[in-house]
Amino acid sequence: MANKVWVFVDQFKGEGHPASWEVVAAGRKLADEVGSGLTALVFGEGVEAVAQTAIHYGADEVLLADGAPLAEFRVEAYASQLAKLAQDDTPDVILFPTTTRARELAGMAAIDLNSGVLPDVIAMDLEGDTIVVTRPVYAGKLLAKSQCAAKPQLITLRARAFGKPEADESRSGEVKSVDVVVDEGTMATQVVDYATSDGQVSLTDASVIVSGGRGTSNRADLEPPADITDEKEQEIWRAQQGFLLIGELAEVLGAAVGASRAAVDAGYIPYTHQVGQTGKVVGPDLYIASGISGAIQHLAGMRTSKVIVAINKDPDAPIFKLARFGVVGDLYDIVPALTAAFKERLDK
Amino acid sequence: MDFQLNEEHLGAQEMVRDFVQKEIGPIIKEQDRKQEMADFILPRMGELGILGINLPVRYGGQGFDYITLGLVCEELEVMDSTLRVVMSVHMGLNSMAILQWGTEEQKQQFLVPQAKGEKVASFGLTEPGAGSDVAGMTSTARKDGDEYVLNGEKMWISLATKSDHALIVARTDNEVDPHEGLSAFIVELDRDGITTGDIHGKMGVRAGSTGWIAMQDVRVPEFNRLGEEGEGFKIAMSCLDNGRYTVGAGATGLIRASLEASINYANDRKAFGREIGKFQLVQQKIAYMVQWYEAARLLYLKAGWLKNQGKRNTKETSLAKWFATDMSFQAASEAIQVHGAYGYSDEYDVERYLRNSKGAVIYEGTSEVHQLMQAGYALGYREDGELRKELPAYDAEYWQAEA
Amino acid sequence: MKIVVAVKQVPDSAAKVSVENGEVSWGDAPLVINPWDEFAVEAALLLTEEHGGDVVAVSLGDEDSKEALKHALAMGCSEAILISDPSLQNADTQAVAHALAAAIQKVGDVDMAVFGKQAIDGDNAVTPVQVARVLGWPALTLTSKISELDADAKTLKVERSIEEGRQIVEGKLPAVMSVVKDFGEPRYPSFMGIRKASKAEIPVWSAADLGADVPAAVVSWPEMSNPQAREVSNEIIEGGSPEEIAATLADKIIEEGVV
């Protein structure tokens, strides 16, 4: 009998998207709850290795559709493939990661399967054989409990909402090759190329911002080059060393670099980086303020940030009142250590 | 009685609000600090149709009514007074005068490009030695064949260095009563003998352009004379009926800006463990600002309504301008008080509001001039006679038709 | 080219949205055109400016949604149509997709249907692909740029924004496209457009007018709630060395799910 719980593994150029493994792990849990095996779907060309990884993360079997028409992700092709498999084996639920690709795939497959899609879910509760999901709506201002009355229930899971998956390389399972049902002749699109996006993240679009303030110039023992003799220029040089550290942390986090007005006015960094009443008003998921005391005008520009982290030498700095996490310490010590810690954890 | 704005009013208001927030908001502090008007503003206002908002479509305008002009001025000045000043001189003091007094040929030649924003217009009445005392002006226009020769200097002219056409009032006759010896001319500022310059060191409207126009033997064809010879004083006064309307509506916007900034700050800033908005003396300031805003708005909307009806509104416009500008100065001052020390710094906008508010209490009739006017009307010393040409009533069909 | 652009009326993004007595409330904040849909209207107008043609704005919703359509008209769309029917009251994305697809068919001879990235109320971001599927058209989603378009040969080449960068895709018309911000900042409504919109009579199409079977909703959302207020607990991270502090801090940040 075919398994009732399926998961879709999103891969790009033969690499499983990390969020996929969280979905496999979440699917494993759900399958155990309902007493079913877990089937993972892996589509692509030459992606057998991805199928093996899916088993390591908890799949009992993998349906592997491997062939040229699936080499590049095209939502139409993937949806046809997925719908065909689901029509044949009638799973109750298919879980997807909330990546751009998988979300669209789930949406399109819902049409083929006369079912419904529940995107970007942060929690699942089983009620009978129906899964009641929780999903943020209105940009997270509200939570909706939602469910789908038809089968299969197509659900995409938000990354990092379902815990960290553990791979077990000793696990084994069956990889079943299935026929590729996509006929290239009927496809209306061709992926012709990729281009990387340009490096700098803009402040207003950034989901993570690392900011620096006056504290960036507070490292007196930093010795400026001999040719910088002017005291003000020495201060600016020191601050720039601080912003280099901030920039490195930002790079690891894919973040934008911000600054307080004090830092901008002192000439440490251009105005385009200024956050606050007189700069940009931002509301990222994560705001790391380093060496920023937190004048009210700066707070006005970033207080809606979801998680605020403050790093400051002065334990009485007002920024700590707003911060979810605070570190009383020198940004010159903490920021590089944090960069290293994230590098390790985010696998970069 | 109908206090409801229509969809066109609301749409225009929203569009201008959107424009200033997106495009002017991010740069206004910097421009104010640099004491420079950003180059893109006038072409952009032209391109968006703001410079022709209430002129008939047949003359290149957008065909909206006079109330919309007021609403637009309010929205512009919520952002910065310098934007509203553009409308005061380009539209209120110049273009509307051509609409009112100009011949069809003059409208085609001058009004159409102004309405389209291809040409920017200004107004030259004030002189170094003649402000409120209009009849004391010394600029002259001497008739020479089918031309006039203009000499003199105009001072405190908004957009002096940015505009293409100026409506200049000069003395054509020294013999008669000073009020009857003035005439008005539409002068292209690229004519020989004209020099212009900016005045720096102003207390406010620093992100705008205020300057002077000097004329030395500037030859202007008779075609450029607006109205009859000797009609200059009447034309100038009718210009002020429109200019003051834009100033009053704009100052109402400045009251709103002070009010909104104060509300935001009072809800945000905490002292003694609670938001400062919880303190009654802060509440009192907010309450007064609400009162001033609502009253100022009713006054200008009434003046706009009278203009739409084609009714004389010198008295109502004067009252709207006097009240709104006085109260905008007071509101900005109170807003600074609400903001405390932060309000005193350029960290927040309210100190700019205060600096910007003071000018309008002085120009286009000082508050004292308006007090004399209002007393004059009340006591029966003053009465408005009929003009040879009145500002045309707003006729939607005529205004919106292509030709 | 004939382009249909789909727009939705939503509470302003700055609104304080909350649940009161089980109902979603946004206080006295205005309802506005979904901000992402403004980008879609802009994209559609840019396309017809370059290639000729008309843009028809379509919205599904109650009478209020006419405001979003009027905004689209004021920006320069030549026509607007409201789809409204009591049977669509609780429509899920699938039902909406079927209704929109039927409307696009009814408009007729449409070369492209343009959507915003997502609506900021439901945050589903699946309507464009679902409409495409119902129509059987390719879905060119998250398009940041059209690098080539041949209206006669009905081919185009677009750049899509995906997680890994930009993807360049060739496709055929008719197609469904959704656009991201990079496509171009939406224009303001023009004054002439505002007047036109204020005078426009917007036709209302019922489910029967669409002449298609709109399936009943299968997705329901019986309960909405306010997220628990985040307590800012001012947790001070301590440790013996910067490395130790950084390790604890990095773990805690990752736990919050914000990186």
Q: Which of A15, B335, B224 is nearest to C163 (CA)?
A: A15
Task: Tell me which of B190, B206, B233 is where a domain ends.
Answer: B233
Write out chain C residues lying below 8 Å of B14, CB-based: 189
Number of domains in chain C: 1
Q: Lowest-confidence range among A51-65, C9-23, C197-211?
A: C9-23
* Whether residues B112 and B127 fall in one domain: no
**C26 domain-assigned:** yes
Kindly state whether residues B261 and B390 are assigned to the same domain: yes
B195, B59: one domain:
no
For residue range B221-247, list pLDDT tens digits in order. 999 999 999 999 999 999 999 999 999
The 10 Å CB-count burial string (b at 16+, else e) for A48-79 is eebbbbbbbbbbbbbbbbbbebbbbbbbbbbb
pLDDT tens readout for residues C176-197: 999 988 888 899 999 999 999 9
Q: Which two tokens stand for residue C36?
A: 């992402």
Give the active site residue among B188, B228, B364, B402.
B364
Do C94 and C218 form a contact (C-beta atoms < 8 A)? yes
Tokens representing C231 are 């307590």
How far apart are the C-alpha atoms of A161 and A144, rounded to whole Å?
15
Instruction: Give per-residue pLDDT as tens, B128-181.
Output: 988 888 888 999 999 999 999 999 999 999 999 999 999 999 999 888 888 889
pLDDT tens track for B49-74: 999 999 999 999 999 999 999 999 99
Quick check: is C174 in a domain? Answer: yes
Contact A143 C256 (CB under 8 A): no
Distance of CA A243 to the CA centre of its chain: 25
B81 plus B146 within the same structural domain: no
Q: Give the residue on B whose Cα is nearest the Cα of C190.
A: B48
Taking all residues of chain B, what is their mean pLDDT, rounded to a whole number? 96
- Do residue B389 and residue B240 come from a single domain? yes
CA distance C174 to C163: 26
Fold of A5-186: Rossmann fold (3.40.50)
Are B260 and B302 in a shared domain?
yes
In DSSP terms, A63 is beta-bridged to A41, A176
pLDDT score recorded for residue A237: 94
Q: Are residues B262 and B373 in the same domain?
A: yes
Same domain, B245 and B229: no
List the CATH number of the domain containing B126. Answer: 2.40.110.10
User: Token pair for residue B380?
Assistant: 């029966």
What are the distances in angstroms from CA B262 to CA A279, B199, B342? 19, 32, 12
Domain annotation covers residue B401: no
Question: A residues 250-279 near B, CB within 8 Å?
Answer: 261, 277-278
Domain span(s) for CATH 3.40.50.620 in chain A? 5-186
CB atoms within 10 A of CB C28: 7
Residue A186, classed as helix, strand or coil, is helix
Chain A residues with beta carbon closer than 8 angstroms to that of C121: 137-138
Instruction: Note down the domain range covering B292.
Output: 236-394
Q: For residue B403, is it within any domain?
A: no
Neighbours of chain B (3+ CB pairs under 8 A): A, C
Domain count, chain B: 3
Q: What is the pLDDT of residues A49-71, one digit of tens each?
A: 999 999 999 999 999 999 999 99
- Least confident range from A106-110, A337-341, B175-179, C53-57: namely B175-179
Minimum Cα–Cα distance from B12: chain C residue: C191
| B56 contact C CB<8A | no
Q: Which residues of B touch A297 (CB under 8 A)?
A: 342, 347-348
Expressed as residue numbers, the domain containing C145 is 2-210
Catalytic (active site) residue B228: no
Residues B92 and B169 reside in one and the same domain: no
Residues B23 and B12 in one domain: yes
Residues B361 and B266 in one domain: yes
Query: Cα separation of B106 and B238, whole Å?
Result: 18
Coil, helix or strand at residue B169? strand
Digit-by-digit pLDDT tens for chain B (403 residues) are 889 999 999 999 999 999 999 899 988 988 999 999 999 999 999 999 999 999 999 999 999 999 999 999 999 999 999 999 999 999 999 999 999 999 999 999 999 999 999 999 999 999 998 888 888 899 999 999 999 999 999 999 999 999 999 999 999 988 888 888 999 999 999 999 999 999 988 999 999 999 999 999 999 999 999 999 999 999 999 999 999 999 999 999 999 999 999 999 999 888 898 999 999 999 999 999 999 999 999 999 999 999 999 999 999 999 999 999 999 999 999 999 999 999 998 889 999 999 999 999 999 999 999 999 999 999 999 999 999 999 999 999 999 999 7
Does any domain span residue B1? Answer: no
pLDDT of residue C93: 96
Which pTM does this prediction carry?
A: 0.86
Q: Are residues B7 and C70, on separate chains, in Cβ contact within 8 Å? A: yes
- φ, ψ dihedrals at B223, nearest 5°: -50, -30
Range(s) within chain A of domains with CATH label 3.40.50.1220 = 208-345
Residue finishing a domain among B233, B262, B293: B233
Residue C237 located in a structural domain:
no
One CATH from 3.40.50.1220, 3.40.1190.20, 3.65.10.10, 3.40.50.11690 for A208-345: 3.40.50.1220
Chain-centroid distance, C-alpha C229: 29
Task: Give the domain CATH number at B268.
Answer: 1.20.140.10
Q: Which of B179, B202, B233 is at the close of a domain?
A: B233
Instruction: Name the residue among B398, B389, B304 with its Cα closest to residue B56.
Output: B398
Is the residue at B400 inside a domain? no
CB contact (8 A) between residue B11 and residue C198: yes
Letter string b/e over residues C39-65, b meaning 16 or more CB atoms within 10 A of that residue's CB: bbbbbbbbbbeeeebebbbbbbbeeeb
- Domain assignment present for residue C103? The answer is yes
Task: Tell me the one-letter amino acid at C259.
Answer: V
